[in-house]
């Protein structure tokens, strides 16, 4: 870990204070505005699951509640699908609206986010990975983190026997040694791996896990099961959206047959499981080709990206921007307001 730079921290905090007091959340706008917040995991810092997760993926339950309490002073909370529907019908929209979204459908969303949302009576959309929900399947970044950690702890002498040439050029201080990677190093490894298509990454991981004899660890599933999802969607607060069947990035190299499976079939599965209509979609990693966009436009009312920003009534329903939130950049009121301002 690098040393803290006091001057750099002072400058950063000064910018945050300016943004918190002068950002667009403090002003009136000529057109209705929609802020969409993007969360992934809600986990206490001492939770074991936090150790193998990228820093940009987590927010503590306390911070999550503080974020919502702060946002409530500037925005009217809305259900994303209803905002899109009202926009399409030409109905009045709130001057400054805020929609809460979660990507992936992690079990901790049910454990830690849902109680806060119920207490505050705030609606949210959870984008589910249809063929992974209710299973013990894991996303490849988590598998990669587990592999590096397992080798370092259990069998460091095997590093030289493993084909990791596809990862060794990653821009990180991690040298595949006898210590597990830090959360920051895991993040850098994941970013580097994304230079490969999903099927190649998964093929590499399958081979390594087979060579090392790594098996699924016992314990609770990482993602929510359908019973938990049903409890949330039946509450009247939470709606389900699609995040594909397998969390496949929908780039130009993906064949039409796969696009149809990920975009159309995922909607069918989630609707069958929840008995509710699914009208919103989330592009994994923010990636989509022209062909993917056309299919989403045909089967959904709207879709969210990972592009950072606010939306107006002129923004395309299928390229809605969001502001990503995680503990390191939104851990207190000032930092959160600076983040949503777009300054940081």
Q: What distance in Å separates the CA atoms of residue 321 and residue 312, rounded to the nearest whole number?
A: 10
pTM: 0.93
- Angle formed at CA 199 by CA 193 and CA 201, multiple of 5 degrees: 25
> How many beta carbons lie within 10 A of that of residue 318, not counting itself?
19
Question: Which has the closest alpha carbon to 254: 298, 305, 307, 293?
Answer: 293
pLDDT, one tens digit per residue, over 218-239 is 456 899 999 999 999 999 999 9
pLDDT, one tens digit per residue, over 199-222 is 999 999 998 888 877 765 545 689
> How many beta carbons lie within 10 A of that of residue 73, not counting itself?
9
Q: What was the pLDDT predicted at 1? A: 44
Q: Are 96 and 75 in contact (CB under 8 A)?
A: yes
- Measured in Å, how far apart are the chain's first and last C-alpha atoms? 22
In order, the DSSP letters of 272-335 are HHHSS---EEE-GGG-B-HHHHHHHHHH-SEEEEEEES-EETTS-TTSEEEEE--HHHHSSHHH
* Region of 247 on the Ramachandran plot (φ > 0 left; ψ -120 to 50 alpha; else beta): left
Q: What was the pLDDT predicted at 122? A: 98
Q: Are 118 and 175 in contact (CB under 8 A)?
A: no
Structure token digits, residue 331: 């851990």
* Residues of the chain scoring pLDDT < 50: 1-2, 218
Question: Per CATH, which fold does 6-135+223-341 belong to?
Answer: TIM Barrel (3.20.20)
pLDDT, one tens digit per residue, over 16-55 is 889 899 999 999 999 999 999 999 999 999 999 898 888 8
- Determine phi and psi for 284, rounding to 5 degrees: -60, 130
Q: What distance in Å separates the CA atoms of residue 159 and residue 313, rounded to the nearest whole number?
A: 53
Q: What was the pLDDT predicted at 174? A: 80
Q: What distance in Å separates the CA atoms of residue 38 and residue 322, rounded to the nearest whole number?
A: 6
Torsion of CA 204, 209, 211, 212, to 10 degrees: 140
Q: Are 126 and 245 in contact (CB under 8 A)?
A: no
Determine the length of the chain: 344
Q: What was the pLDDT predicted at 158? A: 67
Q: Which residues of the chain does CATH 3.20.20.370 include?
A: 6-135+223-341
Q: What distance in Å separates the CA atoms of residue 122 and residue 117, rounded to the nearest whole number?
A: 5
- Determine phi and psi for 35, rounding to 5 degrees: -100, 125
Residue 88: exposed, middle, or buried by beta-carbon count in 10 A (0-12, 13-18, 19+)? Answer: exposed
Give the Å distances, CA to CA, from 35 to 28, 182, 244, 283: 14, 32, 23, 18
């Amino acid at each position: 870990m690098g040393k803290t730079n006091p001057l750099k921290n002072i400058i950063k905090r000064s910018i945050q204070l300016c943004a918190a007091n002068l950002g667009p959340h403090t002003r009136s706008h000529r057109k209705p505005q929609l802020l969409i917040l993007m969360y992934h995991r809600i986990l206490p810092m001492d939770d074991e699951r936090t150790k193998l997760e990228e820093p940009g993926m987590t927010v503590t339950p306390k911070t999550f509640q503080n974020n919502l309490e702060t946002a409530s002073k500037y925005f009217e909370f809305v259900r994303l699908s209803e905002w899109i529907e009202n926009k399409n019908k030409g109905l009045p929209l709130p001057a400054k609206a805020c929609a809460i979204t979660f990507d992936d459908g992690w079990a901790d969303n049910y454990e830690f986010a849902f109680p806060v949302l119920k207490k505050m009576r705030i609606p949210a959309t959870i984008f589910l990975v249809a063929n992974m929900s209710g299973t013990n399947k894991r996303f490849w970044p988590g598998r990669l983190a587990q592999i590096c950690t397992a080798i370092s702890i259990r069998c460091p002498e095997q590093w030289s026997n493993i084909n990791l040439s596809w990862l060794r050029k990653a821009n990180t201080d991690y040298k595949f040694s006898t210590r597990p990677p830090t959360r920051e190093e895991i993040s850098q490894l994941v970013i580097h791996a994304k230079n490969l298509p999903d099927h190649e990454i998964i093929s590499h991981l399958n081979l390594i896990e087979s060579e090392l004899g790594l098996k699924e660890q016992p314990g609770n599933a990482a993602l929510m099961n359908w019973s938990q999802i049903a409890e949330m969607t039946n509450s009247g607060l939470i709606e389900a959206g699609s995040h594909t069947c397998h969390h496949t990035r929908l780039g130009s190299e993906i064949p039409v047959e796969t696009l149809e499976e990920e975009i159309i079939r995922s909607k069918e599965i989630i609707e069958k499981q929840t008995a509710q209509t699914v009208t919103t979609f989330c592009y994994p990693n923010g990636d989509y080709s022209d062909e993917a966009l056309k299919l989403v436009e045909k089967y959904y009312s709207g879709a969210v990206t990972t592009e950072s920003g606010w939306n107006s009534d002129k923004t395309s329903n299928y390229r809605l921007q969001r502001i990503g939130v995680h503990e390191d950049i939104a851990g207190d009121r000032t930092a959160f307001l600076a983040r949503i301002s777009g300054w940081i």
